[in-house]
Amino acid sequence: MGKNQFFLICMQQVPEVLNLAKLLVNQDSGTNDLEGLKKKAILITDLFKQEGADVEWLPSAPPREGKWNLAVRFHGTGKAKILILTHYDTVFPAGEAARRPFFCDGKNAYGPGVADMQTSIAMVLTGLHLLHRNGWRDYDTLTVFCNSDEESGSWGSRDQITELAREHDIALNMELSGADGNLITVSARGMATGTLRVKGKAAHSAAEPPAGINAGLELAHQLLQLSHLSKPKIRLAVNATLGSFGTSTNVIPEDATATLNIRVAEARDFEKVEEEIRSIIKNKLFPECKVDFDMRLDVMPYGNNATTLELAEKIRVIACKELGMELGSRHAIGRNDPCFRAQVCPSLDGFGPGCVAMHSEKEHLPIATVGPKLYLLVRMIQEVCLGNILPLNRAEGQKEGV
């Protein structure tokens, strides 16, 4: 079958993708809606089992107990081990699907989570069906991970994602790809939480304020000093997001704390930022104050390295030669699930459709983006299976690093 003919077949499958998306969108699965998530998990399980998959329900780890992540496995006759990552939770509360169910106006599709990422799951189902009905099972294992926890930080799934990634040659993520569906995500920032603690000295605020050392004022001084650390050109951000001091209106505060949200594009910047903060806080408003800082790494950055850029270039070549489509690069504003696997497995994000106004009532899916991205997803799977994207069976001999 020629490439152009197969593209036409993918375009003909767009109504089927939308029909599946309608089923998914019209079942609530808000990230905190345990009942809705379970019903959605049952629906997804049934859909993948109809395609011949084995489906394992993995309980979410603390602190996300009560949710289930799905490991959907297909077994084939080839060598490639491919992991495809999706998530089925949305940001919308229970009842939202009934209030504004899925609908199309001919140009766009609407509904809670339609683009982020219910239609992506529908695309995976449709793409695998296209491969299987044409006798293509030239993979060893193809695993689809359906995360129930992505919109709340993937705290209950990140370790599962990492362990699955170790077992695969490549990992593809089905997140959105820009408003026009013409972007591949090549990086996402890592995140750390910094905690600033100030110890002063309590005193009566009216009788003898000079006897105290105001931890609140010292904290304010420190936050002002740290307010210039962000460097947009290298996508580094340091922002104070939480803070408190004092316990009573008539006491000079002895203790003060603040939380810093730290985001970096390069892993090495974590250490640089920490060193810079520790140096800056030595300059105190009140020398008698004690000022401490500690930093917890929450998420390592994804991509924008040689491996990711090489993978992105290969899918760009396919898009250009076979579709006449120019794919650009997208840098995610925050973390994404590839952050939990890119450290142990070559990964690429952005195989989902276009998305406009995500996480809002105006979120919609430009229908014209579905067919081309469905084609590119299937072609990427085929090329990986043929050994044209990267060496196969990497997972057998390399458990650490990329």
* Same domain? 202 vs 169: no
Residue 292, pLDDT above cutoff 90: yes
What band does 401 get if pLDDT is binned at 50, 70 and 90? very low
What band does 133 get if pLDDT is binned at 50, 70 and 90? very high
* Same domain? 65 vs 77: yes
Domain that holds residue 202: 190-299
Residue 392, pLDDT above cutoff 90: no
pLDDT score recorded for residue 210:
87
The count of other CB atoms within 10 Å of the CB of residue 57 is: 14
* Same domain? 319 vs 390: yes
What's the mean per-residue pLDDT of the chain?
A: 94
Which of 277, 299, 321 is the last residue before a domain boundary?
299
110 falls within a domain? yes
Residue 204 contacts residue 195 (beta carbons within 8 Å): no
Which of 299, 327, 342 is the last residue before a domain boundary?
299
84 falls within a domain? yes
pTM exceeds 0.85, yes or no = yes
pLDDT score recorded for residue 335:
80
Pick from 243, 333, 260, 253: nearest CA to 296: 260
* Same domain? 165 vs 201: no
The answer to whether the bond into 63 is cis (omega within 30° of 0) is yes
- What does the pLDDT average to over 39-63? 97
* Same domain? 167 vs 278: no
385 falls within a domain? yes
- What does the pLDDT average to over 341-363? 94
Say which amino acid occupies 8: L
DSSP for 137-152? --EEEEEEEEES-GGG
pLDDT score recorded for residue 249:
94
The count of other CB atoms within 10 Å of the CB of residue 180 is: 15
- What does the pLDDT average to over 386-398? 76
Residue 327, pLDDT above cutoff 90: yes
Residue 399, pLDDT above cutoff 60: no
* Same domain? 153 vs 66: yes
Which of 299, 322, 352 is the last residue before a domain boundary?
299
296 exposure class (CB count in 10 Å sphere: 0-12, 13-18, 19+): exposed
* Same domain? 324 vs 178: yes
Distance set, CA 199 to CA 126, 222, 297 (Å): 59, 13, 24
46 falls within a domain? yes
pLDDT score recorded for residue 207:
83
* Same domain? 162 vs 212: no
Q: How far apart are CA 220 and CA 362, in angstroms?
A: 39
DSSP for 329-392? EEEESS--GGGGTTTTS-EEE--S---BSTTSTT-EEEGGGHHHHHHHHHHHHHHHHTTSSS-T
Pick from 220, 202, 221, 222: nearest CA to 212: 202
* Same domain? 343 vs 269: no
The number of distinct structural domains making up the chain is: 2
402 falls within a domain? no
Tens-digit pLDDT profile for residues 272-289: 999 999 999 999 999 999
Q: What is the CATH number of the domain that holds 128?
A: 3.40.630.10
Helix (H) or strand (E) segment spanning residue 215: helix 215-226
Q: How far apart are CA 254 and CA 246, in angstroms?
A: 7
Tens-digit pLDDT profile for residues 11-25: 999 999 999 999 999
- What does the pLDDT average to over 127-132? 97
Q: What is the CATH number of the domain that holds 214?
A: 3.30.70.360
* Same domain? 183 vs 194: no
* Same domain? 307 vs 231: no
Residue 251, pLDDT above cutoff 50: yes
* Same domain? 217 vs 351: no
Residue 402, pLDDT above cutoff 70: no
